[in-house]
Amino acid sequence: MKMWSSRFKKELDSLANDFNSSIGIDYKMYKEDIMGSMAHANMLCATGIITDDDNSKIQNGLKNILFEIDSGELEINPMAEDIHMFIEEELTERIGDAGKKLHTARSRNDQVSVDIRMYLKAKIESIVIDLKTLIETLIEVAKANLNTVMPGYTHLQVAQPVTFAHHIMAYVQMLTRDISRLIDCYNRMNENPLGSGALATTTYPIDRFKTTELLNFKIPTRNSMDSVSDRDFIVELNFDISMVMLHLSRFSEEIILWASQEFKFIELDDSYSTGSSIMPQKKNPDMAELVRGKSSRVFGNLMATLNLIKALPLSYNKDLQEDKENIFDSIETVEMSILIFNGMMKTLKVNKENMRDKAKRGFINATDLADYLVKKGLPFRDAYKITGNLVSYCVDKNISLEELSMEELTNFSDLFEADVYKYIDLDYILSQRNVYGGPSPDAVKKQILDTKAYVDTL
């Protein structure tokens, strides 16, 4: 029997009932629903709308329900319409008439809006904590690799030398932006819609500031129609999570490349790799591949949420019930992905020698050789041309720039002197790229310090 059935002459078709039900998804918000109801009842009592006696029955009843769901004693009925109905019906079954008073001056429309905001606020807090842990792990990897020379790429072609630390710290910067975006989102959703009713508040003398305080919101929302139909915060959070996944996906792509036989820059730990059922030699980077793969579903969730809302007239429409499945899926996916990434990075082995060897190839010090000639007085374009000719010469001879003899060098320009070898040495080149934000070990040390200080303010 539906709570709202008195107006109807027939029961809901059973397939329609299943179609209408959202309990399979919104049961996750049972705690928030109960906390919201407790605050609502306390407010109703404080404003004289219900008696102390009724309120204490409601409070005790709800507390017991929460305790019993937490302990597994009370099972959430999968036949209920949604979590709000389930809790209210359960309460009324237990405490009788007092339970029937809980829904005074409230609608499921403001109830679901306050529940989901509370649920998402807590989730944002835990995602931020997980991201900070991942950042700490990455900083540890960076610290251990301040002098690990590696080829830096543009167009996936060897460009200029960097260090593994600098490369890893690039991802740390992305993740710090992700944290700040999540916190912005948290702050915008931190407004209390409870008291908006179905769409037009209520005639009861409720106190929305009271529930705002009790539920730890910053302020009450300012427009009841907006309050019950606004899902901006879900779109925003889906976007923010998409950005985290986008960053982890790019990172995954690099990890997959680096772990390949062609690169051999890193080796993933056995505990984060899988084998093949047919090829005995295989060690596959499945975790990274899955993070990359799962990101696409999260991006889909963002698109689905945008489309869900774009043509809805004010105020609440049942379409909005579809908002939860996507965002819950995005949250679970990003939570798992961050945890997996953290473990994978913690156990990763870096093949320092291999990285350095690869950096030596590909004429990574060509820009520095040109700069050497500029220091000796040549205009950059002329220096660039001579260096290009030297590279072409080396390609033909299959040698690197530092393998050129003094005689060979001076055939191209008489500005070359013995000190040229120092200027094109990889460690020297790196130590000279000492600009703020650059790859020199000293600059990266500073980057780590400043990044840590910034993350601490978030």
Instruction: Assess whether 166 carries a catalytic annotation.
Output: no
Choice among 155, 271, 277, 405 that is catalytic: 155
Q: CB of residue 88 vs ligand ARG: minimum separation in angstroms?
A: 12
Burial 132-167 (b: 16+ CB within 10 A, else e): bebbebbbebbeebbbbbbbbbeeeebebbbbbbbb
Whether 84 is a known active-site residue: answer no
From 90-98, 134-142, 210-218, 314-322, give the range in contact with ligand ARG by CB under 6 A: 314-322
Q: Given the complex with ligand ARG, which of 122 and 458 has the nearer CB atom? A: 122
- Token pair belonging to 160: 């200029």
Euclidean distance between CA atoms 319 and 22, whole angstroms: 12
Contact range with ligand ARG by CB under 6 A, out of 54-62, 160-168, 315-323, 409-417: 315-323
Binder of ligand ARG out of 41, 69, 112, 429 (CB under 6 A): 112
179 and 458 Cβ atoms separated by less than 8 Å: yes
Binding segment (CB under 6 A) for ligand ARG, from list 106-114, 341-349, 381-389, 396-404: 106-114
Cα 231 from Cα 189, distance rounded (Å): 9
Cβ at position 2, least distance to ligand ARG in Å: 11
176 phi-psi bin (left φ>0, alpha ψ -120 to 50, beta other): alpha
The type of residue at 87 is: I
Of 51-90, binders to ligand ARG (CB under 6 A) are 82
Report the sign of the C-alpha dihedral through residues 224, 230, 232, 237, in that order: positive
Three-class SS of 85-131: HHHHHHHHHHHCHHHHCCCCCCCHHHHHHHHHHHHHHHHHHHHHHHH
CB of 323 to ligand ARG, least distance (A): 7
**If you ran DSSP here, which 8-state letter would residue 313 be given?**
P
Cα(249)–Cα(229) distance, rounded to whole angstroms? Answer: 33
CB of 321 to ligand ARG, least distance (A): 4
The answer to the question of residue 320 lying near ligand ARG (CB under 6 A) is yes
- Residue count, binding to ligand ARG (CB under 6 A): 10
Stretch binding ligand ARG (CB under 6 A), from 60-68, 108-116, 128-136, 235-243: 108-116
CB of 96 to ligand ARG, least distance (A): 25
Minimum distance from residue 36 beta carbon to ligand ARG (Å): 13
Name the residue nearer to ligand ARG (CB basis): 37 or 387.
37
User: Per CB under 6 A, does 22 bind ligand ARG?
Assistant: yes
Class of residue 198 by CB neighbours under 10 A (exposed 0-12, middle 13-18, buried 19+): middle
Nearer residue to ligand ARG within complex by CB, 26 or 236: 26
CB of 131 to ligand ARG, least distance (A): 28
Under a CB-based contact definition with an 8 Å cutoff, are residues 327 and 305 in contact?
yes
What is the rounded distance in angstroms from the CA atom of residue 127 to the CA atom of residue 331?
8
Q: Under the criterion CB under 6 A, does residue 231 sit at the interface with ligand ARG? A: no
Judged by beta carbon, residue 23 or residue 266, the one nearer ligand ARG is: 23
Q: What residue type is 254 in one-letter code?
A: E
Given the rule CB under 6 A, which of 208-216, 318-326, 385-393, 414-422 is the region that contacts ligand ARG? 318-326
Whole-number Å distance between alpha carbons of 326 and 441: 43
Q: How far is the CB of 44 from ligand ARG (least distance, A)?
A: 20
Tokens of 182: 């999540």
- Segment contacting ligand ARG by CB under 6 A, of 105-113, 154-162, 373-381, 396-404: 105-113
238 contacts 305 by C-beta, under 8 angstroms: yes
Binds ligand ARG by CB under 6 A, chosen from 42, 104, 202, 321: 321
The catalytic position among 260, 276, 296, 392 is 276
Which CB atom, from 112 or from 149, has the smaller least distance to ligand ARG? 112
420 binds ligand ARG (CB under 6 A): no
Q: How far is the CB of 115 from ligand ARG (least distance, A)?
A: 9
Contact pattern from residue 270 through residue 299 relative to ligand ARG, giving x for each residue in contact according to CB under 6 A and a dash for the rest: ------------------------------
Q: Which residues of 429-448 are buried (b: 16+ CB within 10 A; e: fewer)?
A: bbeebeeeebbbbebbeebb
What angle do helix axes 30-46 and 83-95 make, rounded to 10 degrees?
Answer: 60
Nearest CB to ligand ARG, comparing residues 83 and 268: 83
Distance separating alpha carbons of residues 67 and 90, to the nearest angstrom:
13
> In 3-state terms, what secondary structure has residue 399?
coil
Distance CA 221, CA 242 (A): 27
**Of the residues 108, 210, 231, 360, which one makes contact with ligand ARG according to CB under 6 A:** 108
* Residues recognised as catalytic: 155, 276
Give residues in contact with ligand ARG (CB under 6 A). Answer: 22, 26, 82, 108-109, 112, 316, 318, 320-321
